[in-house]
Amino acid sequence: MARVDLRNESNVPGEWFVDTRCIDCGTCRDIAPELFGETRGGSIVKRQPSPADELDAWLAAQACPTASIGTMSRQPRPGRLYPREVGEGSGVFDLGYCSEDSFGASAWLVVREAGNVLVDSPRFTEALAGPIAELGGIDHIALTHRDDVADAERWAERFGARVWIHADDRVAAPYATDLLTDEQQIQAGFVAVPTPGHTRGSVVFLLDDRWLFTGDSLAWSHERGDLAAFRGACWYSWEVQTESMARLADQHRFSVVLPGHGARVSGDADDLHDRLVRLVEQMGRPAA
Ligand code: SF4
């Protein structure tokens, strides 16, 4: 529950607010950029939601890792918001309930006949475990990199899931059952593609040549209106990450990007390919 007594004074006046426990993960700004903005060291409500976009505010509130988003009148949440299917009938679900341990990274559930796959880890909560059980549980946990492991071990224990992580990031998940080294299929149509750079063991997962789960290697930027990579949050090697993105553009196509941090986007596969090629060119230039 957001703390009224800690309401950030920079919020616009009105019912909705962000409190000062915000860790500035950016998740609310990625989910609802028209409602949430950035101030010194955190997020604020920059426009009060209208009835038409109040659901977006609730989705951001339920995703917030520090429960910093709320209403002055302490309105109750409007029912179960997550898991939330990304496109009707897609079988791909946004899980909300981001974890502070992964700095608010998004996690995703893919419901498949071959066995459900959790990509990265939300906060462990029975509020999410119950609905996930109704969707068939979790057979595999695919970790994009060491930073976004969060509660993966608890999810694996709860559902008896195999856990995949790249060998170079294995220290973050010593309980992993399967270590990735090269490009390989976790299941038919679900491919792990190593993309070192953000961390040495970063991986993206490509589902059905359409859905690309990118961790912190690649995302959409609302500010730029384009694909982006995070030079200021590159922990291993920007040069290596640039090579990884170039290889990804060469060898794969996708039409949806679902990241850990940063905004998600869906579009035309050729357009996203061209944007990735241009991003690689920009990444190769010296830092401004
Ligand atoms: S999601 Fe929560 S912690 Fe993250 S920036 Fe928004 S208010 Fe802050």
> What average pLDDT does range 256-262 have in this prediction?
97
- Count of domains forming the chain: 2
Q: Are residues 132 and 44 in the same domain?
A: no
Cα 174 to Cα 161: distance, rounded to the nearest angstrom: 14
* pLDDT score, position 27: 96
Six-digit token string for 275: 């944007």
The set of residues, in sequence order, having a beta carbon less than 8 Å from that of 13 and lying 6+ positions away, is 48
Q: What is the pLDDT of residues 50-71, one digit of tens each?
A: 999 999 999 999 999 999 999 9
Among the atoms of ligand 1, which is closest to the Cα of residue 25?
4
Q: Is the pLDDT of residue 161 over 90?
A: yes
User: Which has the higher per-residue pLDDT, 1 or 192?
Assistant: 192
Give the pLDDT score at 1.
Answer: 87
* pLDDT exceeds 90 at position 77: no
Q: Is 68's C-beta closer than 6 angstroms to any atom of ligand 1?
A: yes
Domain boundary among 47, 71, 95: 71
**Structural tokens at position 148:** 């976004």
CB of residue 24 inside a 6 A radius of ligand 1:
yes
Q: Which helix (H) or strand (E) holds 256?
A: strand 256-259
The residue to mutate among 20, 21, 35, 68, having the most atoms of ligand 1 within 8 angstroms of its beta carbon, is: 68
Amino acid letter, residue 90: S
**Nearest Cα residue to atom 2 of ligand 1:** 64
Question: Would you say residue 2 lies in a domain?
Answer: no
Q: What is the distance in A from the centroid of ligand 1 to the CA of 21?
A: 9
Q: Are both 39 and 164 inside the same structural domain?
A: no
Decide if 221 is inside a domain: yes
* Average pLDDT in the chain: 96
The pLDDT value recorded for residue 248 is 98
- Parent domain of 226: 84-283
How far, in Å, is the centroid of ligand 1 from the Cα of 221? 17
Checking if the pLDDT of 40 tops 90, the result is: no
Specify the ligand 1 atom closest to the Cα of 36: 6
| Same domain assignment for residues 187 and 143 | yes
Give, for ligand 1, the residue of 23, 100, 123, 261 to mutate: max count of ligand atoms closer than 8 Å to Cβ.
23
Residue 204 Cα to ligand 1 midpoint, Å, equals: 24
> pTM here?
0.95
Clarify whether residues 154 and 247 are in a common domain: yes
Query: Is the per-residue pLDDT at 288 higher than 70?
Result: no
Task: With residue 219 as reference, give the H or E element that holds it.
Answer: strand 219-221
The mean pLDDT of 150-170, rounded to a whole number, is 98
Q: Ligand 1: which of 22, 36, 46 to mutate, most ligand atoms within 8 Å of CB? A: 22
In degrees, rounded to 5, the angle at the alpha carbon of residue 249 between the alpha carbons of residues 245 and 253 is: 130
pLDDT band at 286 (very low <50, low <70, confident <90, very high): confident
pLDDT average, residue stretch 256-261: 98
Cα 130 to middle of ligand 1, angstroms? 25
Summarize pLDDT for 234-254 with one digit per residue, the tens. Answer: 999 999 999 999 999 999 999
The pLDDT tens digits for 93-113 are: 999 999 999 999 999 999 999
Is the model's pLDDT at 285 over the cut of 90? no
For residue 275, tell me if it sits in a domain.
yes
- The answer to whether residues 30 and 94 belong to one domain is no
For residue 3, give both structure tokens.
């703390």
User: What CATH number does the domain containing 231 carry?
Assistant: 3.60.15.10
